[in-house]
Amino acid sequence: MGKFWISALAVIAIAGCKAPSNDIGSSASKAAPVTAATILKADNSGWRSYGRTYNEQRFSPLGSVNTGNVDQLGLAWSFDLNSSRGIEATPIIHDGVMYVTSTFNVVYAINARTGEQIWSYEPEIDMVQASNACCDLVNRGVAIWGENVYTATIDGRLIALDAKSGNVVWEKLTIDKSKPYTITGAPRVIKGKVIIGNGGAELGVRGYISAYDAKTGDMDWRFYTVPGNPADGFENETMAMAAKTWTGEYWAAGGGGTAWDAMAYDPELDLLYFGVGNGSPWNQSIRSPEGGDNLFLSSMVAVRPDTGEYVWHYQTTPGETWDYTATQHLILAELEIDGEPRKVIMQAPKNGFFYVIDRETGEFISAKNFVDVNWATHIDPETGRPVEVEGARYSGKTPYLQLPGPLGAHNWHPMSYSPETGLVYIPAQEAPWVYGDKQNYTQKDRMWNTGTDFGYAVIPSDKAIFRAMKAAAKGRLLAWDPVKQEAAWAHEHLAPWNGGVLSTGGNLVFQGTGDAHFAAYNAKTGDQLWKFFSQSGIVAAPVTYELDGEQYVAVASGYGGSFVLGYGGVLPSGSDFNSGRVMVFKLGADGELPAQPAETVPEFELPEKVETTPELLALGANVYANRCSMCHGDQAFASGLTPNLRYSPVTKDPAMWQEVVGDGILAENGMPKFGHAFDAQTIEAIRAHVTHEAHSDLDKQFYDEVSLPKQ
Ligand code: CA
């Protein structure tokens, strides 16, 4: 009986993720080596770096698809990524070949004209390390350079593949696997160096970004984003400087500051820019008890790409305590401000303010909130620092219902800047959260060590705060004028957590949505001009390229990420299944996606409520909120990305529950072992909570009310 359920669960855990073979059948001619000139020239036949070119504008001058004919856009081909999880990858296109990553970091090389597979590579992920991922088993794509493709894996490796064959050229472990590091970001290659950071600041790590020689894989430099223990000696003067902004034993939990996504490069100034994440733990009163700015948390940092030498920084959220990362998309542009041309770097980080910064010096130019915020009134133009609202800094105070929450006013989903309209197109959202102090906090290995109590947001006993929080959740495509610091137009979506953005010379903006549509908008007015039902939700960003005189627009579907995992019951997928696919469109095409599989609703019976004491039930609820909810949904409603605990056979079997949760018998499937953190009584208390949630019809009714309409 027990064995049957283990194998049944294993099937659930890997369903839809068939292991592809490395079937090399390419007859493609030798690819032209990629150089800095190739990336900077950015000819229209490809998309050769994550943000198209080093300025990361994600604007293509291609205009054969335009406002006049976009209604004739149709599906040219689609490619199955064998995934039922979140797909965040930007496809990279060079020499007629598209390179895209899927779940478990599988890399596919595809004929960019036809969608035929050329090769695939599967790196065989260490699922125990991968289970430290905060926000789904996602990856944002590859980089190309020379004759190689570079991919960074969720378990911390950087791998160079031969672009023609998919064979491994070299492989390096970029992390200490005794710590909960993971990688979700796409590498960039600058001056022959592959640049990559990592994540893990929810669980407790020290952030850094590293450069590896593109040919050999040897590490050239590493820049730590926060200082280590002074007793070990600082790595450089920059760390000694940063340490002056921290207090207490700040190094105990690592400090955080992971550089898990954004980078940009200015070849004229020879500056590499990257964004730095939140503190470990979030709660500053635990992390750095006497306060301080805590450099370089929540900052944009500029370094020399040859050496990693620090040049300047700008900190968006000094003394970060809300998971307000500044890892969000960085865009370089030339703007005319007060009659003067300025070289700027722009960012819309989680904290809700849009920043325009001088990228030569780091000087603050302007900032304005691009959604409603209630943690700061404004950014002081003299100091460039936020003026905080009393009460937002929640330590030792009443829990605070705050906008934005940790999902951010804007998360990793790429923006786009059109030099033709002068507008930045932001996948913006309003997703509030209740921040509350964690009483009697102790750091525990491989746990979410935020120092905040998720119970205030996830399980308030009267559900009032919870309902207010969910009711306030919104998502929109926002066109923002960075010079005037005001909205030009906005298109409201059904919910937060929508796709990244592309703008083009056809006066178009493309974006996918969580409710399973891919749409085109007039870049100047925001009018929606075309819409395609994508069957599965979209979070990834589109790209465009031209081959044989035809313009293609490509985007990957596959709904997932932190919002989807944590708010499983309100999954606005718009469809009853989630399938990762690359979809490629061109004018006059009339292809169709494969038919959706017939809806099969397995018959499940709810578990019996476990009889227990109110104290143990409350304990189970609190532990569930603080460690289970971020993967299994806030009310034990699954998003479909992880097993639905309300119906899971394991929930009905107390012995099996102990083996799965406590002993980690499914660790290699990605379900972490928690026996080191919770005793058997606590683990059973979690089960009691889940069985009670399973019978919570009030919540089910609420979810039905807020769930989005199906297509
Ligand atoms: Ca974070």
Question: Per-residue pLDDT tens for 687-703?
Answer: 999 999 888 764 554 44
Type and span of the H or E element at 702: helix 697-706
Q: Is residue 442 in some structural domain?
A: no
Q: What is the token pair recorded at 441?
A: 């906090």
pLDDT score recorded for residue 601? 59
Q: Is residue 665 in some structural domain?
A: yes
Q: What are phi and psi of 368, to 5 degrees?
A: -150, 145
Q: Is 546 helix (H, G, I), strand (E, B) or coil?
A: strand
> What is the spatial distance between Cα 544 and Cα 565, in angstroms, rounded to a whole number?
30
Q: For residue 164, how far is its CA from the centre of ligand 1 (angstroms)?
A: 36
Q: What percent of the chain has pLDDT over 70?
A: 90
Rounded mean pLDDT of 131-143? 94
Q: What is the token pair recorded at 85?
A: 């999880």
Range of the domain at 618: 607-694
> Is 697 noted as a catalytic residue in this protein?
no
Confidence of residue 704 (pLDDT cuts 50, 70, 90): very low
pLDDT score recorded for residue 19? 38
Confidence of residue 707 (pLDDT cuts 50, 70, 90): very low
> What is the spatial distance between Cα 147 and Cα 157, in angstroms, rounded to a whole number?
19
Rounded mean pLDDT of 645-664? 94
Q: Give the closest residue to 419 by CA, choosing from 90, 67, 91, 58.
A: 58
Q: For residue 213, how far is its CA from the centre of ligand 1 (angstroms)?
A: 29
Q: For residue 281, how far is its CA from the centre of ligand 1 (angstroms)?
A: 10
Nearby residues of 634 by Cβ (< 8 Å), 6 or more positions away: 458, 459, 466, 566, 567, 568, 569, 625
Residue 362 contacts residue 302 (beta carbons within 8 Å): yes
Q: What is the token pair recorded at 613?
A: 């004491």
Average pLDDT for the chain: 90
Least trusted range by pLDDT, from 141-145, 166-170, 250-254, 629-633: 629-633
Residue 637 contacts residue 645 (beta carbons within 8 Å): no
- Whether the bond into 296 is cis, omega within 30 of 0: yes
> What is the spatial distance between Cα 663 and Cα 644, in angstroms, rounded to a whole number?
20
What torsion do the CA atoms of 659, 451, 326, 446 make, to the nearest 10 degrees?
A: -30
Q: For residue 26, how far is its CA from the centre of ligand 1 (angstroms)?
A: 41
Confidence of residue 568 (pLDDT cuts 50, 70, 90): low
Neighbour tally for 442: CB within 10 Å: 10
Q: Give the closest residue to 185 by CA, choosing from 313, 307, 325.
A: 325
Reply yes or no on whether the pLDDT at 350 is more than 50.
Answer: yes
Cα–Cα distance list, 178 to 13, 209, 229, 446, 506 (Å): 24, 18, 18, 10, 50
Reply yes or no on whether the pLDDT at 652 is more than 90.
Answer: yes
Q: Is residue 620 in some structural domain?
A: yes
> What is the spatial distance between Cα 546 and Cα 654, in angstroms, rounded to a whole number?
58
Q: For residue 352, how far is its CA from the centre of ligand 1 (angstroms)?
A: 15
Residue 277 contacts residue 202 (beta carbons within 8 Å): no
Question: Per-residue pLDDT tens for 509-566?
Answer: 999 999 899 999 999 999 999 999 998 899 999 999 999 999 999 999 999 998 888 8
Q: What is the token pair recorded at 630?
A: 């971020």
pLDDT score recorded for residue 472? 79
Q: Which CATH number covers residue 675? A: 1.10.760.10
pLDDT score recorded for residue 708? 40
Confidence of residue 613 (pLDDT cuts 50, 70, 90): very high
Reply yes or no on whether the pLDDT at 264 is more than 50.
Answer: yes
pLDDT score recorded for residue 461? 60
Reply yes or no on whether the pLDDT at 255 is more than 90.
Answer: yes
CB crowding 347-386: b at 16 or more within 10 Å, else e: bbbbbbbbbbbbbbebebbbbbbbbebbbbeebeeeebbb
Q: What is the token pair recorded at 596?
A: 């959706």
Q: For residue 326, how far is its CA from the centre of ligand 1 (angstroms)?
A: 10
Q: For residue 386, how far is its CA from the centre of ligand 1 (angstroms)?
A: 20
Catalytic-labelled residue, pool 155, 293, 323, 453: 323
Residue 580 contacts residue 536 (beta carbons within 8 Å): yes
Nearby residues of 164 by Cβ (< 8 Å), 6 or more positions away: 26, 28, 30, 31, 147
pLDDT score recorded for residue 575? 58
Least trusted range by pLDDT, from 349-353, 635-639, 643-647, 691-695: 635-639
Q: Is residue 616 in some structural domain?
A: yes
Q: For residue 485, how far is its CA from the centre of ligand 1 (angstroms)?
A: 26
Confidence of residue 4 (pLDDT cuts 50, 70, 90): very low
Q: For residue 202, how far is its CA from the centre of ligand 1 (angstroms)?
A: 6
Positive/negative CA dihedral, 578, 637, 709, 140: negative
Q: For residue 203, how far is its CA from the centre of ligand 1 (angstroms)?
A: 9
> What is the spatial distance between Cα 330 and Cα 190, in angstroms, rounded to a whole number?
16
**Cα first-last separation, the chain:** 40
Nearby residues of 705 by Cβ (< 8 Å), 6 or more positions away: none
Q: Is residue 450 in some structural domain?
A: no
Least trusted range by pLDDT, from 105-119, 367-381, 561-575: 561-575
Q: Is residue 372 in some structural domain?
A: no
> What is the spatial distance between Cα 496 and Cα 479, in angstroms, rounded to a whole number?
16
pLDDT score recorded for residue 385? 98
Reply yes or no on whether the pLDDT at 459 is more than 80.
Answer: no
Q: Give the closest residue to 635 by CA, choosing from 647, 649, 621, 648.
A: 621
Please give the order of strands across the beta sheet that includes 263-266: 263-266, 271-275, 299-303, 310-315
Nearby residues of 508 by Cβ (< 8 Å), 6 or more positions away: 65, 66, 67, 70, 520, 521, 522, 523, 529
pLDDT score recorded for residue 1? 25
Rounded mean pLDDT of 9-20? 36
Q: Is residue 67 in some structural domain?
A: no
Cα–Cα distance list, 362 to 298, 303, 310, 497, 673 (Å): 14, 11, 12, 30, 44
Q: Give the closest residue to 648 by CA, choosing from 638, 639, 658.
A: 638
pLDDT score recorded for residue 697? 60
The tally of domains found in the chain comes to: 1
What torsion do the CA atoms of 572, 578, 582, 586 make, to the nearest 10 degrees?
A: -50
Q: What percent of the chain has pLDDT over 90?
A: 77
Q: Is residue 637 in some structural domain?
A: yes
pLDDT score recorded for residue 13? 36
Q: Which residue has the higher pLDDT, 668 or 88?
A: 88
